Chains A and B, each alone.
Chain A
């Protein structure tokens, strides 16, 4: 098991204006398939990716928001969201999507994957990761 690395995917872009958010999701799913220790971080405009209630029908593009809620099925249990980034944008945890995983150590109880962290805590999480992929 020593070859399991801690991957951190850093998301800093809003969802539709660029392709980064969608590309990040694709790469995250690939990483999860290789059974690595995967964590996601959302900061700066990246927090907008998790703002619930997308309706892309008028825009005419695919609504890929449901894919975020499916990440728990790929055993992604750590989704860090930076508190300062939320506050600057007038958002709180209540405005975000529900993201859950099933905890195998706790009789498969459904638990929230979202962890609101401070900028300082996120800096430490970055330090503690083996691989950081930035989007």
Chain B
């Protein structure tokens, strides 16, 4: 019963990502979208928490990464997906939870 979690808030502005990561289970996927992608920026404080998440696949939405000037600044281990990849994740998992 893998679940897809989307996070659309900056980890520096509120604890949405932290709460999400506290509620994931092994095999789940976390997709960073909108301001959520800042969590995966290299060198940032939030990237450590993300890198420490075990057993969870982390993805980031390409359009949001590029729009924010983060292309090439994303930490290793985070998979960049496009809109079609977003749809694939929705279909591959049993359900989706949007962390707002």
Contact = CB atoms under 8 A, between A and B. Distances in A.
Contacts of A59: 63-64, 66-67
A16 B37 CA distance: 11
Nearest to A89: B44
Interface string B15-55: 00000000000000000001100100111110100000000
A29 interface: no
Nearest to A56: B67
B44 A55 contact: no
B69 A52 contact: yes
Given A45-B35, A45-B38, A90 B44 contact: yes
A32 interface: no
A73 to B, nearest CB: 22
Contacts, number: 74
B66 A55 contact: yes
A93 interface: no
Contact of B41 (A17, A61, A90): A90
A89 B71 CA distance: 15
Contacts of B66: 54-59
A54 B42 contact: no
A51 B68 contact: yes
A49 B66 CA distance: 13
Contacts of B34: 16-17
Contacts of B38: 14, 45, 48, 89
Residue with the highest number of chain A CB atoms closer than 10 Å, among B43, B44, B47, B67: B67
A58 B63 contact: yes
Contacts of B47: 90
Contacts of B71: 53, 55
A56 B68 CA distance: 8
Given A54-B68, A89-B45, 10 more contacts: A16-B35, A17-B9, A44-B13, A48-B68, A51-B68, A51-B70, A53-B71, A89-B12, A89-B38, A89-B43
Interface of B: 8-10, 12-13, 34-35, 38, 41-45, 47, 62-64, 66-71, 82
